[in-house]
Structure 1
Amino acid sequence: MPAPPAPGPDGVRPPADGPGAGRPPAGDRAIETRGLTKAYSGGRLAVDGLDLAVPRGSIFGFLGPNGCGKTTTIRMLMGLIQATAGHARVLGQPMPAAGRRVLPEVGALIEGPALYGFLSGRDNLRRFDAADPAADPRTRGARVGRALERVGLAAAAGKKARAYSLGMKQRLGLAAALLQPRELLVLDEPTNGLDPQGMREIRALVRELAADGTTVFLSSHLLDEIEQVCTHAAVMARGRLITQGTVADLSATVLGPRGNGRLTVTTPDTADAARVLKELGVSGVEITDDRVTGELPAPDAPMGGPDGGAPRELADLNAALVHAGVRVRGFGTERASLEDVFVSLTGEGFDVAG
């Protein structure tokens, strides 16, 4: 596998295959931006030349630390603020020019919901639904009931919104985005304020929506959330896109061989285990106490000694160790995480504001 590209003058690596890395064909994109830029007074760039490509039908994680420009990008995509330069297309239409045609097909939860505190959760949704010119008033009650049920608020529907917790308000905002079937769902930190059980429920709902054909664009600074639910992701830092692609490919693309997984073998026969693993193509073999670790070859690379051989399963590695008389007490692999990807690309911890 080729080495990842060298960092640029600012210390940030570009996507491994160039500016278009990870881009789906144009007709298959739910969201596309080219050179999207937002500058504020004093020339401060909140978003700097963003080239983003979100495949239709994906659960796309928009990943970056707080303050890196994620919400500003979403606000430009939804036509809430004007871009300084560049352009954006949502569902194949230019934004904000085509907002009247596009937005009825988009559900959005951005920077938390704006609720009427004196109204109940149910009445808030009825008011939101009434503002939709395409909504049939005869079926409003049924739509509101289904949306409340989907986000787990049916039992609290009659409670005043001002008495809702932060997590309940997030759920109600998500219910508002789900009042009508949507082709695209844009969620900005949707699990903010939720307890662990609430996070699990929202992740399950996102997967369900994607299974029904909805493209979900999910902004988050929580790496674990992105890894658990998303099929694709983009990493952003300091207003710039660092890389994008499938979640499964990001670590391999950015980190090189380390993205294929790191093997750990626990054994009292460390020297013999290290020798066998090296013969089978495992690189970077190290011995620490009773553990032997090494980097697995790429999935299509042959293992079996210096002359190559047929590709092997992990079980074959384990069998080879046992056949060589190595007493294996523990055997497993660990893939590079999105945190590894982020630190490799930016050289900074993930809690650093952009």
Structure 2
Amino acid sequence: MGGPSAAEPEGPGHPEGPEHPERAEPPERGTAADAEDAEVAVDAVIATRALTKRYRGGQLAVDGLDLTVPAGSVFGFLGPNGSGKTTTIRMLMGLIEPTSGTARVLGRPMPRAARAVLPRVGALIEGPALYGFLSGRDNLLRYDAADPTADPRTRRERVAAALDRVGLAAAAGKKAKAYSLGMKQRLGLAAALLRPRRLLVLDEPTNGLDPQGMREIRTLVRELASDGTTVFLSSHLLDEIEQVCTHAAVMARGRLITQGPVAELAAGRRGRLVVTTPDTGDAARVLKEQGAADVVIAEDRVTAEPPDRDLADLNAALVAAGVRVRGFGTERASLEDAFVALTGEGFDVAG
């Protein structure tokens, strides 16, 4: 009967490290590329310059990406399906090589410095890879044993601490194949937290979690950031990004659209106009006549993209037309508003 080494883990990829880390070579010293890369901001945990990935057949997945992730930030990575986010993450983690351009993680070039960088990086990419016949605890013990830099004398204590941190201590002895999707996601996150990390890369970290679990993961991310860990995460839940992230970047069709502090990304957007009235039909008609766009009626509310004019004039036009206005104002522009305006499409960041 074959032992555990004969079994293949479930899932699309290992939570940490490249598929073939032995192929990564230590960085060369004194090259022109190193000198150019040295110009990148020294406090950037992730920095790319003109990073490009073109697949066979000419498909351009990532096009000239200049990305900067500040140290100590919680950085949200956003983009519609197929925008190139997961391809970018794979290049950053040394799973695939770029066609051109450079990527530096923790100040070192990737994938050349993968052996030096990856022990300081925790990652959960495209879901955790688990041995279904092993318990959650034994999965983590196996992951930790595969790390040549991990101290075997403290292995069980670190595994217990990681399980407790993600709320799986009570289910540690349960076989992974019996775990729910959310529990598997937690276990993958625990694997990324087996040792202190300078950088944590999370691809859809709340996938499959219930609302309580999502709140716990958000709290955990904040705690990690307060301890000095930089967290880089993608999520299709834009309100979640807005709640937990300090910085964000938006990609579309392989190109970077914008990046910066979350509070500033939506600052340039005017919020939606909201009119509360029993005369919704008349209100919608007047707003359209005044140049408002995307007018929507919902019960006793009419919302719209306001025209570029004084809102007091819109209110006066409504009153002059006999609309009984019970409420009039604008809602603060959200990150979702900014995202849709920038990309021109909905958001599904699985790409």
- What's the TM-score once normalised by structure 2's chain length? 0.73
Counterpart of 1:41 in 2: which secondary structure?
A: coil
Unaligned runs of 5+ in 1: 1-23, 269-283, 296-327
Q: Per the alignment, do residues 109 and 330 of structure 1 end up closer, same or farther by CA in structure 2, a change over 3 Å counting? A: same
Q: Helix, strand or coil for the counterpart of 1:185?
A: strand
Equivalence for 2:195: 180
C-alpha separation between the residues in 2 aligned to 1:62 and 1:292?
29
Matches within 5 A, 1:252-331: 252-253=267-268, 255=269, 258=270
How many residues matched?
A: 282
- Alignment correspondent of 1:41: 56
What is the distance in 1 between the residues matched to 2:301 and 2:236? 37
Q: Secondary structure at the match of 2:94?
A: coil
One of 326, 332, 349 as aligned partner of 2:346:
349
Report the CA distance shift for 1:251/1:131 in structure 2 as closer, same or farther (over 3 A). same
- Give CA deviations for 1:128-148 in whole Å, capped at 9, x if unaligned: 111112211111111001100
For 2:105 and 2:132, locate their aligned partners in 1 and report how far apart those are by CA, in whole Å: 32
Map 1:330-341 onto structure 2 (within 5 A).
334-341=331-338
- Are residue 52 (structure 1) and residue 67 (structure 2) matched? yes
Q: 2:138 aligns with which of 101, 106, 123?
A: 123
Q: How does 1:1-354 map to 2 (within 5 A)?
A: 26-253=41-268, 255=269, 258=270, 334-351=331-348
- Output the amino acid matched with 1:35: A
Structure 1 residues 331 and 114 mapped into 2: Cα distance closer, same or farther (>3 Å)? same
Instruction: State whether residues 46 and 70 of structure 2, in contact with CA within 8 Å, keep that contact through their aligned partners in structure 1.
Output: yes
* Distance in 2 separating the partners of 1:115 and 1:96: 25
Deviations 1:144-185 (A, max 9, x none): 011001111011100011111111111000000000000000
Q: Quote the Cα distance in structure 2 between the aligned partners of 1:202 and 1:331.
A: 37
Q: What is the identity percentage for the equivalent residue pairs of Structure 1 and Structure 2?
A: 81
Question: Equivalent residue of 2:67, what SS?
Answer: strand
C-alpha separation between the residues in 1 aligned to 2:156 and 2:55? 43
SS of the equivalent of 1:172 reads: helix
**Paired residues of 2:234 and 2:349 also in contact (CA < 8 A):** no
- Structure-1-length-normalised TM-score: 0.72
- 2: CA distance between counterparts of 1:352 and 1:90? 22
CA apart distance, 1:350 = 2.2
Match in the other structure for 2:15: none
Structure 1: 4+ residue segments shifted above 2 A: 261-268, 288-295, 328-334, 349-354
Quick check: 191-200 or 211-220, which moved more?
191-200
Separation in 1 of the partners of 2:342 and 2:82?
17
Q: 1-side partners of 2:349 and 2:186: how far apart? A: 28
> 2: CA distance between counterparts of 1:111 and 1:292?
37
SS in 1 for 2:260: strand
Change (3 A) 1:290 1:161: closer
Query: Deviations 1:9-53 (Å, cap 9, x if unpaired)?
Result: xxxxxxxxxxxxxxx970110100111111111100111111100
What is the match of residue 19 of structure 2?
Answer: none
Match of 2:281 in 1: none
Aligned residues of 1:66 and 1:221 also touching (Cα < 8 A): no
**1:116 & 1:99 partners in 2: Cα distance?**
25
